[in-house]
Structure 1
């Protein structure tokens, strides 16, 4: 891989000036963003754009690609491992799951990557932008697929969504980590992450350096930037698209300029990335040609925001699940039952449920969740989030982000650190620190970083505190609720085709709290929004490799790819947009390979 930062820096500076002079009419009122620390890398031979040379077999490997020197991995090694981590975090790659056979591809695609940092107006910290330009890009049919990472993942967090669809079609693919990502900062060592993913010292140009005098623990951008990045998700997406146009100017100077007027731009994302592209759809101007959003975390007036139902689930769901039969395995429900029973007793002692025994307490918790809009399907699939402690992880990070708290000021006394065998905070090792950028999901616990609570032996204390920041009225609650209000989505631009896809069994972002109210509001306003509801699909394709989940649930990615195909054909004048549908799928059952008839793709 050849690194040529000087060449791209010069080109980027020239193109920033050119962009100001050649603004198309539809964004003439908007100044071109300034991109910093630009770099370009070549990816050919054994280091392709989609998998870094790993291919399907390498991505299926149970262990990540090794570093030659664990404490000092190279940028090439870090990138390959980040691709491995992000593919496995999003897609079902297990044999029999259908990837690469019924849908999707991981074919090697040669090309270049252009990357930089961008900052939205008013932000303290930058977000990463990256553009993959395949060698097969057709300057005669200019297309950009712009996307945002799912969850809080790093810059490759949508590789399985946008890259896997756009690159084989010869489109450039633009990514943003939308102000979150895996640019962790080690306060013990005073070290953070450089543009190329390697570790650098405070004082060097870094992706994230928290504004704190603390000297112990781990800080990361989503929780500690003081920016409430979710408020700017749409602007992050647009800046990624603008960086794509500038990168194409640099890649193909003879065909420049690339503008929103002469280049097709389709936005796609899932989960938080789906929410981000819907937020982009509401921005002024007609710079987008179409949007596809899968299982989007989107909040509209009258709906339940993520923080509300997450903190409720963190408290009540472990107990409520004891009321349900036929829960999916794993997580290890049998081992969890004693802990869930203890949770019921603790909730009763706190006056949050009723009943004199576990059966009655579980029924009380279940009825409270049902009364607030949870379905049995969402509760069953939510067992996964309970088993992997996702509700607490999300609540701790988002409380800090929404309230714009810094590292030492996090709500409810929470912070983050590596832990020793005695579960006490300790300094991270060089090897742990070196792997954060490639291995982390963007929200601890994970990759050796853990949540450190003030009262770890009384978990209800932290959860009640976090819940009170939504239900209460003190100054901290006002800060968090103001941050949530800043994330409210607007209507998509009139005439913009939007396709929303959501699994009816989603237990992390239930459609009743997100897609359904968004679609209703948009349709009521006369916007061109189509809605696919997929039966027997939950939130995490990546967990379908677990036998019981694969037997019960269908992947959502094939429907996202199909919607993109339909949208692309419509823009070519060769097909119609999807119509609203409730897709009646068939679970494949235990030990069976996924088939096309199971998917029941609308035709």
Structure 2
């Protein structure tokens, strides 16, 4: 039975005396702790859904859509996060060729942690399997990818660590799906249910005018926390690891204390989670034993940061892809118009402007592989969604303060903002990916898309207080080199069109090695950013999943830590798509051991 027992405790009763050395200035602070058990038809990895339930096209239903239970919300959150990260389609190889959806019974520990100086907490969850071996103590720390909720790395760290008997610690990195309804004055409680603002602690309660004051819509934690959470990613990961030790102390008091010097800790993440584990690797304290980062969103000094290439791609990529003959939805043409109006392209005719956009992106460092992979981001309007959210986060702008007049709200059939319904609000925590549009929330703005994109770009290239705040926020996210002697493994797809390796992994690896870092780097041909899209035949015919290489990197790293096996060399992996046939080992072309 899912969540058979629930216990809410004060921090003092749970974590007294648990501070660990090397925590910079202070031990982590937790507002509350909730413990649940998952056995007898429920489990840690799939909430009892198993592979068939995870593959189901429809999400697990709520008995009462307006008032789902915590167990229903958790089950649906696992379903949506699995499907948002992994290719579970028949023939895709998951569970047969790589990966696991094993039923793993155990306990979960939930809490709200707060980094020093932060206005808002971040979620941490620790999954402790019943098969945890106190004689071979291991913790996998897995921060969420993208802006996902706290289960956003279940298919990454959970799928690898839980079947091995390791505890797995998660964090939403200060983003996540704890949205706040400004009209109803309601947010998300620790158990995922909706609660009034007065019912502390909420996972996100923004500074905003009270309900009924005229401010309408949805406050999104990543955009409106006013914390610039990306600047603290490494500390978020560290606090999740600290919480794991505390959870293990409670789970196995006869084997306590669990400390960093007697427990193996591996950090793994993809996308933003990959950037987060690389930021954690900078910590000079020897609490981490190894790091594996897949397709990491990471920026080092001298590299082109995410906000720069995102806002440029939003304007130029539609034109460039048309020059390349890549089919796009008609609606994206407005971005190409915006590029011309902004003076970014100025050819005599449409063909010349398209060629100029292509040439400018190529000169910036985009490869043809990455540009083709970027068609996904163009088609799904991801560039605008990312730029709108990250501009607010980097500038630490509060609710209704976005310099481009952008906000988020439920909308009616005419695209006009309206209050969210009870059922929409109740499903946010389980269904949302962390950034609108999605889960009933849309991007609304005072201007059309073309002007929005120009305004977002000018927050990087322009002058004024707002632009200065955004650039300062970006500068605060730059990564340093990893701790000397720490094994670091970076895996990236050559066709990644959302976080191109040329701007992220490649400069990071150079920077780390110049500083003496112990870094391995695998580049995978025909792998783009979104494994989940490979369930669509058009993408399965072009690309391979990246998760098999992340799992393999974890296996190689584990063998190195466990038995001293040598870590592999760098590799350019000649993977090839399955093109209608079931994925097999020959398609993946994993480097030989």
Indicate the TM-score class for this superposition, using the shorter chain for normalisation.
over 0.9
Bigger shift: residues 120-129 or 310-319: 310-319
Q: Mark the CA change 1:579 to 1:593 in structure 2 (over 3 Å): closer, same or farther.
A: same
Alpha-carbon shift at residue 469 of structure 1 (Å) = 0.7
Aligned-residue RMSD, C-alpha: 1.3
Q: Could you say if the C-alpha distance between residues 389 and 243 of structure 1 is closer, same or farther in structure 2, counting changes exceeding 3 Å?
A: same
Contact 2:342 2:454 (C-alpha < 8 Å) held by counterparts: no
Please give the alpha-carbon distance, in whole angstroms, between the structure 1 residues aligned to 2:145 and 2:302: 24
Q: Count how many residue pairs are aligned between Structure 1 and Structure 2.
A: 585
Equivalent residue runs for 1:548-559 within 5 Å: 548-559=538-549
Q: Is the 8 A contact 1:118 1:129 kept in 2?
A: yes
- Indicate the residue corresponding to 1:85 in structure 2: 80
Counterpart of 1:427 in structure 2 is 419
Task: Choose from 426, 445, 452 the match for 1:462.
Answer: 452
Gaps of 5+ in 2: none
- Distance apart, 1:357 and its partner CA: 2.2
Q: Is 1:550–1:588's contact at 8 Å kept on the other side of the alignment? A: yes
Matched, 1:157 2:137: no
Q: How does 1:119-268 map to 2 (within 5 A)?
A: 119-205=114-200, 206-213=202-209, 215-268=215-268
Q: CA deviation at 1:460?
A: 1.4
Where structure 1 has 5 or more consecutive residues not aligned to the other structure, the ranges are: 328-332
How far has the Cα of 1:341 moved from its partner?
4.6
Listed one character per residue, the Cα deviations across residues 349-372 of structure 1 (whole Å, up to 9, x for unaligned) are 442212222211111111111111
Alpha-carbon distance in structure 2 between the residues aligned to 1:113 and 1:342: 47
Q: In 1, distance between residues paired with 2:162 and 2:336?
A: 49
Q: 1:150 to 1:28 in 2, by over 3 A?
A: closer
Q: Secondary structure at the match of 1:56?
A: helix
1:448 equivalent in structure 2 = 440
Give the direction of change, closer, same or farther, for the CA distance of 1:72–1:29 in structure 2 (3 Å limit). Answer: closer
Distance 1:228 1:158 in 2: 21
Instruction: Give 1:37 deviation, angstroms.
Output: 1.6
> Residue 15 of structure 1 contacts residue 249 of structure 1 at CA under 8 Å; is this kept in 2?
no
- Are 1:545 and 2:544 matched, yes or no? no
Structure 1 residues 311 and 350: alpha-carbon distance in aligned structure 2, compared to 1, 3 A threshold = closer
What is the rounded CA distance, in whole Å, between the counterparts of 1:30 and 1:348 in structure 2? 50
Distance (whole Å) between structure 1 residues aligned to residue 591 and residue 160 of structure 2: 19
Name the structure 1 match of 2:518.
528
2:5 matched residue in structure 1: 3
In structure 2, do the counterparts of structure 1 residues 595 and 468 end up closer, same or farther at CA, with 3 Å as the change threshold?
Answer: same
1:330 is aligned to none
User: Does residue 503 of the first structure (1) align with residue 493 of the second (2)?
Assistant: yes
Q: Please tell me whether the aligned partners of residues 45 and 103 of structure 2 are also in contact (alpha carbons under 8 angstroms).
A: yes
User: Which structure 2 residues correspond to residues 464-483 of structure 1 after superposition, within 5 A?
Assistant: 464-483=454-473
Q: 2:15 matched to which residue of 1?
A: 16
Measure, in 1, the Cα distance between the counterparts of 2:206 and 2:27: 27
Deviations 1:257-308, CA, capped at 9 Å, x for gaps: 0000000000000000000000000012010000000000001001011000
8 A Cα contact 1:16 1:34, kept in partner: no
SS at match of 1:246: helix
Q: How far has the Cα of 1:563 moved from its partner?
A: 0.6
Partner residue of 1:305?
A: 305
Q: Structure 2 length normalisation: TM-score?
A: 0.97
* SS, match of residue 70 in structure 1: coil
Is the partner of 1:513 in helix, strand or coil? coil
Q: Deviations over 1:528-562 (max 9, x none)?
A: 01100011100000001111211111100000000
SS of alignment partner, residue 299 of structure 1? coil
More helix, by proportion: 1
**For residues 416 and 464 of structure 1, what CA distance do their matches in structure 2 show?**
19
Q: Distance in 1 between matches of 2:23 and 2:67?
A: 45
Hey, what does 1:560 align to over in structure 2?
Answer: 550
Q: Secondary structure at the match of 1:298?
A: coil
Instruction: Give the deviation of 1:29 after TM superposition.
Output: 6.2
Shift of 1:27: 2.6
Distance 2:303 2:273 in 1: 19
